[in-house]
Amino acid sequence: MIRFENVSVTAQSPEGAARLLHNVSFELTAARTAIIGENGSGKTTLARALGGLVKPSSGRVIAPENLGYLFSNPGAQPIMPTVREDVALSLRGTRSGGRKLRREEIDAKVNAALAEHSLTEFADRPCHSLSSGQQQRLALCSILVAEPDLVIADEPTSLLDARHRRIVADRLLSPAAERVVLVTHDLDLASRCDQALLVQHGRVTAQGTAVEIIDRYERSLV
Partner 1 sequence: MISLFIPGRGPLHRCPASVKVLGLAVLSLALALAPVSLVTIGAAAAVTAIAIALAALRPGIVLRDLLRTLPFVVFIGGTLWLLQDGLAAGTAAARILAIFTLASVLSRTTRVSDMMAAWPFRLSERLALALSLIMTMIPALLTIGAQVRDAQRSRGLRPSLRRWIMPFLVLSLRHADDVDDALLARAPTAATGRSRNR
Total Cβ atoms within 10 A of residue 74 = 27
- For residue 132, how many C-alpha atoms fall within 13 Å in the half-sphere facing its CB? 10
Stretch that binds partner 1, among 10-18, 33-41, 51-59, 166-174 (CB under 8 A): 51-59
Q: Is 156 in the site for partner 1 (CB under 8 A)?
A: no
Q: Is 76 in the site for partner 1 (CB under 8 A)?
A: yes
Q: How far is the CB of 218 from partner 1 (least distance, A)?
A: 31
Q: Is 128 in the site for partner 1 (CB under 8 A)?
A: yes
Of 11, 52, 115, 121, the residue at the interface with partner 1 (CB under 8 A) is 52
Q: How far is the CB of 60 from partner 1 (least distance, A)?
A: 8
The residue type at 85: E
Q: Is 127 in the site for partner 1 (CB under 8 A)?
A: yes
Q: Is 65 in the site for partner 1 (CB under 8 A)?
A: yes
> How far is the C-alpha of 86 from the C-alpha of 81, rounded, in Å?
7
Specify the DSSP class assigned to residue 97: T
Of 30, 31, 80, 187, the residue at the interface with partner 1 (CB under 8 A) is 80
Total Cβ atoms within 10 A of residue 158 = 17
- Between CA 55 and CA 62, with CA 60 as vertex, the angle to 5 degrees is 100
By beta-carbon proximity to partner 1, the closer residue of 71 and 217 is: 71
What is the 3-state composition of the chain as percent helix, strand, coil, each rounded to the nearest 5? 35, 30, 35
181 and 30 Cβ atoms separated by less than 8 Å? no
Specify the DSSP class assigned to residue 126: B
Q: Is 92 in the site for partner 1 (CB under 8 A)?
A: yes
What does the binding site for partner 1 look like in residue numbers (CB under 8 A)?
A: 51-55, 61, 65-71, 73, 76-82, 84-85, 88-94, 103, 124, 126-129, 142-143, 146-148
